[in-house]
Amino acid sequence: MQVKSILSLFVAFSMLVPTIATAAEASQGVGGLSGTVAPKLTMFDYTGGGGAARAHALQRYNYQKSWFGNNISGAYLDLDLDLAYSDGEGTSLSLERRGDGLTNQAGQVRFDTDKVGVSGYYNHHRTVAVGIDYITRPNNMPGGTDTSYTGAASGYVARFNDDSNGSFFRIDRTNYGAGAKLKRALLGDMASLSVNHDGYRRVGNTYATYVAGGSDFGANSQSVRWRGYDRPLNETMDRGSIGFAASPMGLFQFAYDGSFEKFVSRAQNYRMNDFAGPVAAAGFAVGAAAKQNALHFIPDSTLTAHSVRLSKTFAKASLAAGYGMSVLGIDSFTGQQVAAAYSEGKIASRNFFVNGKVRIVPSVEAEAYLKYGNRRNDSTFPAGTLLTPATNEKLDMRLNTLKTVEYGVAATLRPTGSKSSLAAGWKRLTKNRGFTLNTNAAGAKAERMLYEGDSHTNEVYLKGTARPTDGVTVHLTPSYEWSDKVGSPIDAKQAVNLKADAIYATADGKLLSVYYGYKDKRNGALDYTGGTTAAPTYSVGQNLRSILHSAGASLSAAVTTKVNSSVSLDWTQNDFQSDYITSDIRRYTAAAIAFRTRERSSSVIDTFSLGLATDWQTTDALKVSGGYTLSRSKGNVATGLVATELGSTVDGAVDNDLHSLALGAEFAFTKALSLAGQYGFDHYKDNRYASLTGSGHTVTTSLAYRF
């Protein structure tokens, strides 16, 4: 270590000595060091469930890795920490760590006084969801590649080609950050200042698919166009931010936030030519013009953002306003972008809001708000032959601006002395999309898309809260939406919504809650127009309806003074109906096009979940617990013709369930020392993707020392 480094550490330590001494003295008072240290040993074993070493369905979001490098069976040691130090006079230091193995852990440290705060955190987590996608790749699924595709002159893509080299598909994400805050007590009770750094690193391998263009691999190349390959990830994001808040003379509150964020992708960017080998092996060749085609290019980017907010609270009124702006720009370009002089990828956003609330009479409050947003695409346009409205298939539509204006009024009746309230309100959302369409005679035409410039949606609603008696709370929120201008299929031409819930809590800890949600959204206001632009023939409308039900009930209670139990049941149903519409030719042609509604198809999927849990303090020293959860999803992805076709694959329906059983016991040797053990059994059954069916056993033992 260099002399200067030693010197800096010495100076830092010497300046901290008074601090440590002060804290040590204080710890002899009412404060002190407290916490829990819990080393633990986890053993696990999985059977079935997917591609063994590649990805186990049960490890999709909860990957476990043995110290011996195996993710199917093994063991690992870890440590949970929860430490807190307080000097009893407002100064505290806390350190927490949660460890569930090398691939799932988190920690944070925080130091606070009344004048400053310093904190840091990290979180590391692995997912293998992409591995499950790989298992279900088209050429590994019944029907994934239709045998009717015989190759040359058969449709556009004949079969799927897997160029994977056997990577382990996983994504490791590590979030980290640190910050410091100078609190108001340090700055004359008028202002606070914070500085933070947040970031993450995301590394791993994913699976990407693509389809080459009609001439990219030469004539009659249907059998080799559709491909998949291992796509590495290596990304970092670092964001520095500063926040300043002040209350000048106590007159109003002011806050400024600014940030500078840099995203960098260091992984290899593949081009079509990187797969020239397997294409050639199949008897085709990557064309000269296609060699540089970038596959799933991820640009580096920089985001800068600034915002100011003001708020003021009067005796009977409150006001709040804010303005924010951001600029997102890309910092790296593909060879084709450079060749086309596409030198700027830039999105500028501006937002502001103003909110006001006034108490008209003691029991009635009125409020109004306005919110505005403007997203502007300032990227290079047009850009050579890469992006131009003059050439067919070089631009369908460019969204130049997206302006949203939302405003509304509401009144709330809250009788004096009552905890119940009723609010009635109206709000309106308008979206204005400024876009450029292709101008080529053969280019994509507006009447062949279901996307228009303006959306105007209104909503009236009631929000009721009733607390008729101690412990009972009821919420009821019905609303009705309608659009006087529909701009996209996802708009609600009309929608009826209802949210209701009731909670009953008793003084002895019983808690009963029920809820119900309903949303019925319809939109049949958008059409495709057949024929040509000059001579339209007839319209074919898309008719959408989406009905969403959700309901549930839960009860938790102390059955006896030593037994606590809970039960919950939830149900969600998504019923989505739309028309299956085809056209005889592509929209990229000047010729007359014919749209046709093949049929009406619906997708209805139900999801149930059941949870049971209990814990029993059998003796002063021994506590046992048990829990069981079931989550079941079942339904059809489509009906009719689409369902018939999907029936040849595994994707025609969703049909799976997950059972989880947890049994635990904790024995306290003393108040300070306890030993806990937990056994978990999980079983995932997938009746469609049978290879994903599997089970897992996990045993965790931990020794907790509290002080």
Partner 1 sequence: MTCKNKFIIATMFSALMSIAFVSRTAAQETCTSCHDAAAASHAIGKHGKLDCTKCHSGTEAHLANPGPDTRPAKPDAAACQTCHMKDARRMNWEFSDHSKAGLACTECHGNHTPKAAKGVDAAAKFKDSSSKLCASCHKEVLARFSMPSHHPVKEGALSCVSCHDPHAGKQASLAGKTEQCTKCHQSVRGPHTMEHPPVSEDCTICHNPHGSPNRKLLQVAQPALCLQCHSLTDLRHAVTGTANGRISGAVLRNCTACHGGIHGSAFDQHLRY
Q: Within positions 268 to 307, which residues make up the interface with partner 1, using CB under 8 A?
A: 293-299, 301, 307
Which of 432, 436, 513, 693 lies at the binding interface for partner 1 (CB under 8 A)? 513
Beta carbons within 8 Å of 32's beta carbon, 6+ residues apart? 85, 86, 88
Q: How far is CA 459 from CA 48, 374, 666, in A?
A: 50, 22, 53
How many other β-carbons are positioned within 10 Å of the β-carbon of residue 425?
19
- Residue among 66 and 225 whose Cβ is closer to partner 1: 225
- Contact region with partner 1 (CB under 8 A), list: 36-44, 48-56, 544-552, 670-678: 544-552
598's CB contacts (< 8 A; 6+ apart) are: 580, 581, 582, 641
Q: Which residue from 667, 671, 572 is spatially nearest to 618, judged by alpha carbons?
A: 667
Q: How far is the CB of 138 from partner 1 (least distance, A)?
A: 6
**Residue 628 touching partner 1 (CB under 8 A):** yes
Q: How far is the CB of 654 from partner 1 (least distance, A)?
A: 5
Show the site string, 398-437: x = touches partner 1 by CB under 8 A, - = not. Answer: xx--x-x-------x-x----x-x-x-------x-x-x--
Rounded CA-CA distance 291/335 in Å is 11
Closest by Cα among 184, 197, 216 to 113:
184
Among 480, 482, 515, 616, the residue binding partner 1 under the rule CB under 8 A is 515
Per DSSP, the three-state class of 130 is helix
Nearer to partner 1, 385 or 560 (CB): 385
Rounded distance between C-alpha atoms, residue 326 and residue 346, angstroms: 10
The yes or no reply on residue 617 touching partner 1 (CB under 8 A) is no
Q: Which stretch binds partner 1 (CB under 8 A): 42-50, 230-238, 278-286, 531-539?
A: 230-238
For 25, the token pair is: 């003295």
Q: Which of 346, 428, 485, 600 contacts partner 1 by CB under 8 A?
A: 346
Residue 587 contacts by C-beta under 8 Å, 6 or more apart in sequence? 444, 445, 448, 449, 593
- Rule CB under 8 A: is residue 81 a binding residue for partner 1? no
Choose which of 43, 106, 203, 460 interacts with partner 1 (CB under 8 A): 106
Distance in Å, CB of 5 to partner 1, minimum: 5
Other C-beta atoms closer than 10 Å to the C-beta of 418 total 13
- Whole-number minimum distance, CB 670 to partner 1, in Å? 20
User: Do 654 and 643 touch, CB atoms closer than 8 A?
Assistant: no
Interacting stretch for partner 1, rule CB under 8 A, among 42-50, 67-75, 562-570, 697-705? 562-570
- CB 489 → partner 1: shortest distance, Å? 5
- Residues between 190 and 229 with contacts to partner 1, criterion CB under 8 A: 192, 200, 202, 208-213, 226
DSSP label at residue 691: G
In this structure, are residues 595 and 530 in contact, taking their beta carbons and an 8 Å threshold? yes
Closest-CA residue to 658 (of 629, 636, 699): 629
**Minimal distance in Å, beta carbon 703 to partner 1?**
20
Residue of the chain from 70, 73, 241, 326 that contacts partner 1 (CB under 8 A): 326
Residue 138 interacts with partner 1 (CB under 8 A): yes or no? yes
Q: DSSP secondary structure string, 297-351?
A: ----EEEEEEEEEEEEE-SSEEEEEEEEEEEEEE----HHHHHTT----EEEEEE
C-alpha gyration radius of the chain = 31
Please identify, using beta-carbon distances, which residue of 213 and 677 lies nearer to partner 1.
Answer: 213
Q: Which of residues 650-669 bind partner 1 (CB under 8 A)?
A: 651-652, 654, 656, 658
The single-letter DSSP state of residue 338 is H
Q: Which of residues 662-701 bind partner 1 (CB under 8 A)?
A: none
Among 163, 274, 454, 570, binds partner 1 (CB under 8 A): 570
Q: Which helix (H) or strand (E) holds 9?
A: helix 3-26
Using alpha carbons, select from 232, 228, 230, 270 the residue that is nearest to residue 140.
228
* Residue 616 Cβ vs partner 1, minimum distance, rounded to whole Å: 15
Residues 45-74 that bind partner 1 (CB under 8 A): 61-62
**Token pair for residue 99?**
């460890």
Touching partner 1, residues 524-543 (CB under 8 A): 528, 542
Choosing from 241, 304, 436, 572, the residue that interacts with partner 1 (CB under 8 A) is: 572
Residue 439 CB, nearest distance to partner 1 (Å)? 14
CB of 13 to partner 1, least distance (A): 8
Residue from 504, 507, 617, 629 nearest 555 by CA: 504
Least distance from C-beta 577 to partner 1, angstroms? 9
Q: Does 135 bind partner 1 (CB under 8 A)?
A: no
User: How many residues belong to the site for partner 1 (CB under 8 A)?
Assistant: 218
Instruction: Pick left, alpha or beta for residue 81 (phi over 0 → left; psi -120 to 50 → alpha; otherwise beta).
Output: beta
Residue corresponding to tokens 């260099």: 2
Q: Can residue 385 be called a binding residue for partner 1 (CB under 8 A)?
A: no
Is 116 a binding residue for partner 1 by CB under 8 A? The answer is yes
- The length of the chain in residues reads 707
Instruction: By CB under 8 A, tell whether 263 contacts partner 1.
Output: yes
- Comparing CA positions, the residue from 342, 266, 257, 343 lying closest to residue 304 is 257
Q: Quick check: bond before 362 cis, omega within 30? A: no
> CB under 8 A: which stretch of 42-50, 70-78, 145-153, 276-284 binds partner 1?
145-153
| Least Å from the CB of residue 458 to partner 1 | 16
